[in-house]
């Protein structure tokens, strides 16, 4: 199963922020869309990612004033991404090695989508259910 198959089952919109977006706005956007991370774009270029964990860490160190600061101060600048042809197993490998739960899909510099650990887990469970059904049918025939 590939990243493209996961993307096909999702609304293609990726929720983004800019380096200048205030953290209070990030918190509101994450809550409104019920998501855990925003891809940060400077114009058309992906320049970072900010997740709920970054936000929590920043508030823990700077207090509530952190919310008035800009994304640039607490985003991760080196973004690990994947491509549509990548397998789910390779995505899982990247997430587990990097210890993060979000992977933007970027090709030729263009942001095409984002895969979360929730998307991957859902597909893995569906696959396991299909395999169990196949096995049941096979052993009954
Ligand atoms: P997460 O588990 O996705 O909430 O993220 C945990 C940490 O990894 C945060 O510091 C994020 O900014 C960072 N992070 C999340 N996704 C990525 C990614 N695809 N590439 C690089 N860093 C990431």
Q: pLDDT tens digits, residue range 17-39?
A: 999 999 999 999 999 999 999 99
Residue 131's SS3 state is helix
Does 12 have pLDDT greater than 80? Answer: no
The pLDDT of residue 72 = 97
Residue 80's SS3 state is coil
pLDDT in tens, 68-125: 999 999 999 999 999 999 999 999 999 999 999 999 999 999 999 999 999 999 988 9
Pocket residues for ligand 1 (CB within 6 Å)? 36-37, 49-54, 76, 79-80, 98, 100-104
The pLDDT of residue 134 = 87
Residue 135 — pLDDT band, cuts 50, 70, 90? confident
Ligand 1 binding pocket mutation candidate from 51, 60, 96 (most atoms within 8 A of CB): 51
Q: List the beta bridge partners of residue 10.
A: none
| Distance from C-alpha of 36 to C-alpha of 5, rounded to nearest angstrom | 21
Indicate the helix (H) or strand (E) that contains 68: none
**For residue 91, how far is its CA from the centre of ligand 1 (angstroms)?**
13
Give pTM, 2 decimals: 0.92
Greater pLDDT, 137 or 11: 137
**For residue 58, how far is its CA from the centre of ligand 1 (angstroms)?**
14
User: Angle at Cα 8 formed by Cα 87 and Cα 113, nearest 5°?
Assistant: 75
């Amino acid at each position: 199963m590939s990243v493209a198959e996961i993307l096909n089952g999702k609304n293609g919109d990726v929720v983004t922020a800019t380096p200048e977006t205030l953290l209070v706005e990030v918190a509101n956007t994450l809550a409104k869309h019920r998501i855990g991370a925003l891809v940060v774009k400077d114009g058309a270029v992906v320049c970072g990612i900010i997740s709920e964990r970054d936000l929590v860490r920043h508030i823990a160190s700077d207090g509530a004033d952190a919310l008035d600061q800009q994304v640039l101060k607490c985003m991760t600048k080196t973004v690990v991404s994947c491509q549509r042809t990548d397998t789910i197993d390779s995505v899982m490998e990247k997430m587990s090695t990097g210890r993060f739960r979000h992977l933007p899909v970027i090709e030729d510099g263009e942001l095409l989508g984002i895969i979360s650990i929730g998307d991957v887990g859902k597909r893995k469970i569906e696959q396991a259910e299909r395999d169990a059904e196949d096995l049941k049918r096979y052993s009954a025939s």
